[in-house]
Amino acid sequence: MPVLVFHSEIDAPEPWRQVLARACPDLEFRIWPDVGPPAEVRYALVWKPPHGMLASFPKLKAILSLGAGVDALFLDATLPRTVPILRLVDAGLRGQMTEYGLYAVLYFHRDMPHYLAAQLAGRWAPLAAVPAAQRTVGVMGLGVLGADLARMLVALGFRVLGWSRNGRALDGVEVHSGEGGLREMLSRSEILVNLLPLIPQTRNILNARTFAQLPRGAAVINLARGGHLVEADLLAALDSGHLRGAMLDVFEHEPLPEGHAFWRHPKVVFTPHISAQAVTALAEGQIVENIRRMEAGEAPIGLVDPDRGY
Ligand code: NDP
Ligand code: OXD
């Protein structure tokens, strides 16, 4: 019987075993590394598989990612380049990410770091109101996740700037692209949110030069990948006072190493890569549909372009 191999250190296999037993009874579910004869494996349902794992299946038909971002797959030099990679497109991630992004923007917009510090210091310290219509938020990456957040920010009345590769128009959002567009967007973004994929062109994009182009007192929110951020540059920009704060969900090394400066930094708030998590009940429809489409020879959902890397 053809086999689907599961590997993830953060997603439980059992719910997936049950879903697939029901929806794809002709597919046997096995958990890496107990996969049996490698030639029986047709599908790999994975999050951060060990390097070499995918290349060990000579008849693999598709790599089903348990996440939207597939950067970790491309770090494997042995990744079979001709096997389609299918990423999660929304599949329950979009709503979670938009909630988190809104929360993060509102946290800075409503000066919560100031009020938390004032409370702890026993100070009653009101600041002048800044209406959403006078606040500019920049969103880097206007894909499935970034565009939804941008739309919701527009609905709340913010001035929203966005940056994407193709610069496609988005209602209510001033969209930019290219190097010049990025400069223009950064120069006006009082709160900057990153929702780009991690590819060679975007690695380290949140760096000293980027921060220097933001208005003094801006805040940075990184929800995409740790590899986008040059951590030392963020710390320097926070410590110099150029940036007023950062909210982070992702890190170059996860879990964040013990003793890392972010743990106790007064201007950094962070969460352990939870802004949008794959929930089986919300993602199963897309995974099952993609297996059906692959078996029927139809175009799958979320096909990654290996040349673009996202
Ligand atoms: P999409 O592929 O739908 O969107 C990516 C966006 O980035 C597109 O708008 C794309 O432009 C833009 N982009 C890509 N390259 C460039 C570039 N060189 N210059 C400017 N813009 C660029 O991805 P999703 O929205 O689904 O996900 C985005 C990322 O969010 C994922 O890759 C992942 O890293 C991260 N993520 C994090 C999670 C977490 O829990 N922290 C959960 C889920 C995702 P264009 O529209 O022109 O193609
Ligand atoms: C994803 C993630 O890319 O959870 O889906 O980071």
Q: Is 87 noted as a catalytic residue in this protein?
A: no
The half-sphere exposure of 78 on its side-chain side, counting CA atoms within 13 A, is: 10
pTM of the entire structure?
0.98
Ligand 1 centroid – CA 164 distance (Å): 9
- Annotated catalytic residue: which of 94, 159, 225, 244? 225
Cα gap 273→66, rounded to integer Å: 14
Q: What are phi and psi of 230, to 5 degrees?
A: -90, 100
Q: How confident is the model over 25-61, as pLDDT tens digits?
A: 999 999 999 999 999 999 999 999 999 999 999 999 9
Given a contact cutoff of 8 angstroms between Cβ atoms, the answer to whether 223 and 250 are in contact is yes
Tokens of 38: 């490698």
Cβ of 69 less than 6 Å from ligand 2: yes
Cβ of 244 less than 6 Å from ligand 1: no
Comparing C-alpha atoms, which of 31, 1, 3, 26 is closest to residue 15? 31
10-residue block means of pLDDT along the chain (310 residues)?
96 97 97 97 98 98 98 98 97 98 98 97 98 98 98 98 98 98 98 98 98 98 98 98 98 97 98 98 98 97 97
Q: Is 225 noted as a catalytic residue in this protein?
A: yes
Given a contact cutoff of 8 angstroms between Cβ atoms, the answer to whether 255 and 273 are in contact is no
Ligand 1 centroid – CA 146 distance (Å): 7
- Ligand closest to Cα of 139 equals 1
Cβ of 92 less than 6 Å from ligand 2: no
Given a contact cutoff of 8 angstroms between Cβ atoms, the answer to whether 7 and 44 are in contact is yes
Comparing C-alpha atoms, which of 307, 293, 300, 238 is closest to residue 270? 238
What local confidence, expressed as pLDDT, does residue 99 receive? 98
**Of ligand 1's atoms, which has the minimum distance to the CA of residue 97?**
42
Nearest CA to ligand 2 atom 5: 67
- What is the DSSP pairing of strand 159-163 with strand 136-140? parallel
Cα gap 43→193, rounded to integer Å: 34
What local confidence, expressed as pLDDT, does residue 1 receive? 87
The single-letter code of the amino acid at 120 is L
- Ligand closest to Cα of 165 equals 1
Cβ of 226 less than 6 Å from ligand 1: no
